[in-house]
Structure 1
Amino acid sequence: MLKSKSILIGIGGGIAAYKVCEVISSLFQEGAEVRVILTETAQRFITPLTVATLSRHQAYTDQDFWQATHSRPLHIALGEEADLLLIAPLTANTLAKLTYGLADNLLSNTVLASRCPILLAPAMNTEMWEQPVIQRNWQQLQLDTRYHSIGPGSGLLACDRIGAGRMAEPREIITKLHSLIYTQGQQDFQGKRILISGGGTRENLDPVRFLGNPSTGKMGLALAQAASDRGAIVTLIHGPIAPELLPQSPNYNLIPIVTAEEMEAAMINHLKESEIIIMSAAVADVKPAHYTNYKLPKKELSLNLKLESVVDILAKLGTLKKDYQTLIGFAAQTGDIVNPALDKLKRKNLDIIVANPIDKAEAGFGTNTNQAIFIDNKGKQETIDSCSKLELAHRLLDFVKVS
C-alpha cells in the first residue's frame, strides 16, 4: 500500500532514534519514497549519512533549513510532497512545540506547512511521560484529527527503568502507516464495538499433544488493527499466537484463549455489547473424547484417539444475534470456494461470509498476504485479489459499510 507514496520522517533526539533506521529501510524496500528530517539533537544519536544511505535521499537538517539554496522554501516543499508524516521518537520538547504550534526548526515548520496525516510515536523516560504537563500536552494534541498515535509501550528503557515510555516497535509503526495511507486518517467506524476472533484453537489429548491447525492469527490481528485504526472499540479473542506477532502496545482489547470451549464462552460473554462480529478464527471441528493428564506412551495413542465434535461457535452466534448486529464468518476452502461459502452463509444465519482459498500461493494460513470473495446475504459479491492481510481487512470493513 505504500508503493510510490511519499513518506516524510521526522526523527527526534532520543535513544529510540536507532529503531527508526529499520523503519526507513523497510519503507524503502516496500517502494516508498522516504525523506528524513533530523532535529539537531537527533544527530547526537544517528547521523545524516546513516539515514541518507538507508533512504537513498538526502537527509535534511536545520543547517539546510537556514541556507537559502533552494528554489522553494524547504519546509514548504517537504510538507506539500508528503503523503504521510511520521515523527519518531516524539520527544517531550517536540510534543510541546506541536501542541502550541511553535515553529523554530525545520521539523516544526514542515508540520505547519503540511496537510497530510501525522503519526506520532512518543518515547521518553517513565517519569517524564507521566508528568501532568506531558499528559496534558498529549491529550490536547489528540483532539486534532491530523494527529494519530502509536504507543508508547512498557518495558525496559535505556535508563534501566521498567515502565511506560518505550517507543513502539518498527513493525508496529509500519503497520500503522499502512492503515493511515489506506484511510487517510478517517474514523468511519468511530465508537462502533467490534468483536473479532482470530488464530486457531487447540484441543489437548495429553499435556504435550493436541489437535490443531496451522492458523497463526495474522488475519485476526489485521482485522483488529484495521478496525481500531478506523475508530472502532475492538475486542480480539484469539487462540495461541507467537509473541513476536502480538503488538507491544495494542489500541484494542486482547483476550487469549486455547480451546474452542473457551472461545465460545468469551465470544458469548462479549456478544451483546458488539455491533459487528467477525469470526475469523480457525476453530477445531473435533477434540479428543478423553483428556489424559499424563503423557501417553506411543503405543497407547491409537487406543486413545477417539474423537467427538466441538460446539459450532459461528452457528450458535447465528442463533443469538440481534437485528442491530452484523455477523461475519470466514470459509477457508480448497477447490470451489463459492458454493460451500454460500451454503455456510445461509445455514449459519450470517450477514456476510469471506470465502478464503487456502490452496493458492500466498493465501490462507501463515502467509502475510491473502485473497477472498466477499458475499453478503443479499447476493452482493466482491472479489479481492492477492493483497496484504491488513488491506484485505480494510476492504472487508468497506464491504460492511455498503452491505
Structure 2
Amino acid sequence: MLNPESTFPDSNLGTSQNPKLKRVLIGIGGGIAAYKICEVVSTLFKSGVEVRTILTNSAQKFITPLTFSTLSRYSSFTDENFWQPIYSRPLHIELGEWAEVFLIAPLTANTLAKLAHGMADNLLTNTVLASTCPVVLAPAMNTDMWEQQTVQQNWQNLLKNSRFHSLQPASGLLACDRVGAGRMAEPSEIIAYIQSLLHTAGKRDLAGKQVLISAGGTREHFDPVRFIGNPATGKMGLALAQAALHRGANVTLVHGPLNSDIPLGIEAIPVVRAEEMHSAMMRCLPKADVIIMSAAVADVKPQDYSHQKLPKRSLPKSLALEPIPDIITELAKRKQSHQLLIGFAAQTGDIITPAVEKLHRKNLDAIVANPVDKPDSGFGSDNNQAVFLDKQGHQLEIPPCTKLQLAHHLFDFIGSH
C-alpha cells in the first residue's frame, strides 16, 4: 500500500503535499526505547504535522519500518532505500532539505560518536550532514555506557554546535535492570521540544537569561485536610517554563501542587501556601531577568488553623478570613530597571478593562488577559487564549492554541517591544 515513490509527489522528496503543514524528520536508533517513538510519531501526525522516519539497521532489530509507516502514513526509510537510485535526487539530500526539525531518538553511543566527528556511513548520518535544521537529540543507553568519559566528551563536543538541542536522559530503572542515568526522555517531553523548535526554528533568544516563573494554585488550609483553593493545575506555568528552557534560558519554577512531571533542566521549588510562594519568589528575584507570575495565588486565608482534622460537627458555620500580601505588587516594588515583570489576569466577561487597570495599578511591564469562561481555555485545559498588553500600549490577541504555543507567543511579544 505504501511505497517510497508515493511519499513525495513526482519523487521530489523536498516538496510537501501540503506546504502549510510542519515537517518533522525522525531518526530512530537501535535501542529498546525505540518503542517510545511510536507515540511521538502518532501524536505529531494527529496534531497535523507531516512526519518522515529513518530507521538504522540496528533500530530494525527492535521495531519495524512498517510500524512507523502505518503511524506516519508515509513509508519509512532505511539504508536499503539509501542505496537504490529510484529518486530524482539523492535521498539524504531530499530528506535533509525537507525537514524543519530533525529528531534522533533513541540516540545511541555509536550514532553520537559519528555525529560528534562528522562521520556519515548510513542514511541517518548522511542526512544530518545534508540538513541545516535544528536537531533534537534524545540519548538512551546503559548507565555505564552513558557515563564513559569518551561518550561524555562526544556529547559535550556535539552540543557546542548550536544546531543540536539536548534532551538529557533521566535516571530510573533501565531495560538492563540497572538503576541510573540513561533512560530516554518521555514522549510528552520530546513532543514539547519539537513543537517549540517548530515555532522558534531553533533560535535561543533567551540564552544566558534567568527566567523566574510561578505556577499552579496555592492552598490555604484551615485543618490538615481542608483548604481554600482554586482549580489551577499549573499547566500554563509549566508550558512557560518549557518554552523558556527550549529558548535557552535558565529557568526557576516556583509552583504549587502539580499533577505533571517537571522536565529535567528546570529548577523546581515546590510550595503549598501563598506565604511560601511569596518567600521563594522574593528569594529568587534578584537573579532574575524575566519574572512571570502565572500562579493563581489565594487572596485570603483562614484566620485560624487546627492542627488536627476537625470533625464534621465542629466545622465553623462561618470562616474568619484575613488577606494575604500581594506577591506581584511586592515584586514590582523590588524589581530593578533591567528586569521585566509580567502578570496574568484570569477574567470572565470583559477581560481587557480589568487587565489594563491591573497592569498600571501594579506597575507591571506586561500582562496576559486570560478568559477562563471560554470553552477549552483557562484552568485545567491543555489549550488557552489570551490578549497580551504592555505598558507602552501594545496589544496582541492570541486565538485558541496550545498552552506551549501561547507561551512562545508571549516570549515573542515581550522580546519585540
Deviation of 1:50 (Å): 1.0
Deviation of 1:302 (Å): 2.5
1-structure distance, mates of 2:81, 2:359: 60
- Contact 1:193/1:234, CA 8 A, preserved across alignment: yes
Secondary structure of the corresponding residue to residue 346 of structure 1: helix
- Contact 1:123/1:152, CA 8 A, preserved across alignment: yes
Deviation of 1:303 (Å): 4.2
Number of residue-to-residue matches in the alignment? 399
2-structure distance, mates of 1:308, 1:300: 21
- Contact 1:75/1:109, CA 8 A, preserved across alignment: yes
* Paired position in structure 2 for 1:76: 93
Deviation of 1:299 (Å): 2.1
Per-residue CA deviation, residues 101-154 of structure 1 (Å, 9 max, x unaligned), is 111111011111111111100000110000000000000000111111112111
* Paired position in structure 2 for 1:246: 261
Show the 5 A alignment for 1:93-242.
93-242=110-259
Question: What letter matches 2:94 in structure 1?
Answer: A
* Paired position in structure 1 for 2:61: 44
* Paired position in structure 2 for 1:311: 325
Secondary structure of the corresponding residue to residue 272 of structure 1: helix
1-structure distance, mates of 2:257, 2:318: 24
* Paired position in structure 2 for 1:280: 294
* Paired position in structure 2 for 1:365: 379
Secondary structure of the corresponding residue to residue 186 of structure 1: coil
2-structure distance, mates of 1:342, 1:21: 45
Deviates more, 1:284-293 or 1:163-172: 284-293
Is 2:352 the counterpart of 1:338?
Answer: yes
For normalisation by structure 1, the TM-score amounts to 0.97
* Paired position in structure 2 for 1:85: 102
Secondary structure of the corresponding residue to residue 370 of structure 2: strand
2-structure distance, mates of 1:323, 1:10: 46
* Paired position in structure 2 for 1:395: 409
2-structure distance, mates of 1:194, 1:3: 32
Is 2:297 the counterpart of 1:294?
Answer: no
Q: Select which of 49, 52, 59 maps to 2:76.
A: 59
Question: What letter matches 2:170 in structure 1?
Answer: G
Question: What letter matches 1:27 in structure 2?
Answer: L
- Contact 1:3/1:31, CA 8 A, preserved across alignment: no
2-structure distance, mates of 1:352, 1:70: 52
Per-residue CA deviation, residues 268-296 of structure 1 (Å, 9 max, x unaligned), is 00011111110000001111111111111
- Contact 1:203/1:287, CA 8 A, preserved across alignment: yes
Deviation of 1:3 (Å): 7.2
Per-residue CA deviation, residues 44-82 of structure 1 (Å, 9 max, x unaligned), is 100111111111111111111112222221111111111
Percent identity of the aligned residues? 62
Is 2:23 the counterpart of 1:6?
Answer: yes
2-structure distance, mates of 1:140, 1:151: 15
For normalisation by structure 2, the TM-score amounts to 0.94
Is 2:396 the counterpart of 1:382?
Answer: yes
- Contact 1:3/1:32, CA 8 A, preserved across alignment: no
Per-residue CA deviation, residues 316-365 of structure 1 (Å, 9 max, x unaligned), is 11111111111111010111111111111111111111111111112110
- Consecutive unaligned residues of structure 2, counting only runs of 5 or more, are 1-18
Deviation of 1:402 (Å): 2.4
Deviates more, 1:302-311 or 1:23-32: 302-311
Deviates more, 1:284-293 or 1:170-179: 284-293
- Consecutive unaligned residues of structure 1, counting only runs of 5 or more, are none
* Paired position in structure 2 for 1:352: 366
Question: What letter matches 2:166 in structure 1?
Answer: S
2-structure distance, mates of 1:207, 1:271: 31
* Paired position in structure 2 for 1:257: 271
2-structure distance, mates of 1:255, 1:203: 18
Change (3 A) 1:304 1:154: farther
- Contact 1:3/1:30, CA 8 A, preserved across alignment: no
- Contact 1:146/1:185, CA 8 A, preserved across alignment: yes
